[in-house]
Amino acid sequence: MKNPNKYLLNLDLQSSHAFLKLIELDTTFIGTTNYMGIAFFWNKKYDFILGCSKIDLEIMKELHSIFLLKNLDLDGTSKMHNKIIKYLIKKYCTSDVFNQVMRCFEFYNLEV
């Protein structure tokens, strides 16, 4: 059996030039099943959660996929967007990160 970790790409080890090229490529994949979870696709209102929290690529890919599946505007905001974000943060992140996110929702008056 092949080593499944053999093909993992550690973004922390990439040069800034390589990382920018990956973001550029992933930007072209926004709205498709090829999205890798690197490029930002969400509304600016969610920057405090999605851009600054310790959220990995797997979560970003799932968030993107759910938004597409639910026919939500990828850069939109709604109660449904908020519920999905809250669900994924609770599912994948530590309770500290989840609590931080919930405080941000309250601070920015985003309904959940």
Q: Examine residue 40 and state whether it is found in any structural domain, yes or no.
A: yes
Helices (H), 1-112: 16-29, 57-69, 79-92, 95-107
Beta strands in the chain (DSSP E): none
Range of the domain at 80: 4-107
Tell me, yes or no, whether 81 lies in a domain: yes
Instruction: Indicate whether 50 belongs to any domain.
Output: yes
pTM for the complete prediction? 0.84
The DSSP letter of residue 45 is G
Residue at 24 is within a domain: yes
Question: Is residue 27 domain-resident?
Answer: yes
Q: pLDDT tens digit string along 24-46?
A: 999 999 999 999 999 999 999 88
- pLDDT number for residue 28: 98
Does residue 112 sit within a domain? Answer: no
74 touches 64 (CB < 8 A): yes
Domain membership of residue 54 (yes or no) is yes
Query: 51: closest CA among 35, 63, 33, 68?
Result: 63
- The pLDDT tens digits for 59-88 are 899 999 999 999 999 999 999 999 999 999
Residue 71: inside a domain: yes
- Number of domains the chain contains: 1
Compute the distance between CA of residue 46 and CA of residue 44 in angstroms, rounded to an integer.
5
Query: Could you give the 3-state DSSP secondary structure of residue 101?
Result: helix
